[in-house]
Amino acid sequence: MNKPESVLIGYFPKKIALRTDWFKNSTVEDIYSVCECISKGPDDWIDKWKHNITWWLFDTPEAGLEVLGANDVGFTMLAYKLFPVQFDGGALQPLEIVSTARGELNNFEFLGYDIVSRSVEIAEVRFEHSPLSCNNGCEKIPVNKHCLIDDFKTAWKIAESISAESKNGSWEPGPYCLVEVYRKKN
């Protein structure tokens, strides 16, 4: 399989949660999932309307920092790149990616791939859940210390499998997206 080109869709500052005893996978040290279920974004970031409404992310790292203001202690700036496909019920569907995000990722390091649900393809819908962290899929799925998948082919296969299994209620409803997760270097 040829790896499709991923598209930069935005940046987001998060307070990265450390692994708790709830996670049975001792490989996991911290949670870098795309969703905000465990590692949270800034309080009231939505009310400041600095984000784009397509992906509910910031178009530049600076816009994300603006939302933090003086309360930037403990936040890590992340960047996300999305593949132009959705995994829905085990089937692949093309996903048109319109992005207003700008910048190069020279000062960011790749951490891994996340699989994340996004149930409606309209504005006002953020990424919802990562089966790897939100559903403790890391118990069965090989993940790295950031609760992400290291290898593209493995991530792709697991996204297909999770989307097929979501039809019988094994996971959150899909469709699912495959996202590359990057962290700003200090």
Q: What is the pLDDT of residues 100-112, one digit of tens each?
A: 999 999 999 999 9
CA distance 39 to 9: 19
Q: What percent of the chain has pLDDT over 70?
A: 96
pLDDT at 60: 95
Residue 125: pLDDT band (50, 70, 90) is low
Number of H helices, E strands in the chain: 2, 7
pLDDT at position 29, please?
92
Query: Which of 40-49, 86-95, 129-138, 176-185 is least confident?
Result: 129-138
Over residues 107-119, the mean pLDDT reads 94
Q: Is the dihedral of CA 85, 86, 88, 90 positive or negative?
A: positive
Counting Cα atoms < 13 Å in the Cβ hemisphere of 5 gives 4
Say what the alpha-carbon torsion angle 43, 47, 51, 55 is, to the nearest 10 degrees.
80
Q: What mean pLDDT do residues 155-170 have?
A: 89
Q: What average pLDDT score do residues 49-65 get?
A: 88
Query: Distance (Å, rounded) from C-alpha 67 to C-alpha 171?
Result: 33
The whole model's pTM is what? 0.93
Identify the H or E element spanning 65. Answer: helix 61-68
Q: Kindly report the average pLDDT of the chain as a whole number.
A: 88
Does position 121 have pLDDT exceeding 60, yes or no? no
Sketch the domain layout of the chain as residue ranges.
7-184
| pLDDT, tens digit (0-9, with 9 covering 90-100), for 17-50 | 888 777 777 788 999 999 888 888 888 888 878 8
What is the C-alpha to C-alpha distance for residues 19 and 38, in angstroms, rounded to an integer? 10
Is it the case that residue 73 has pLDDT exceeding 60? yes
Return the CA Rg of the chain.
15
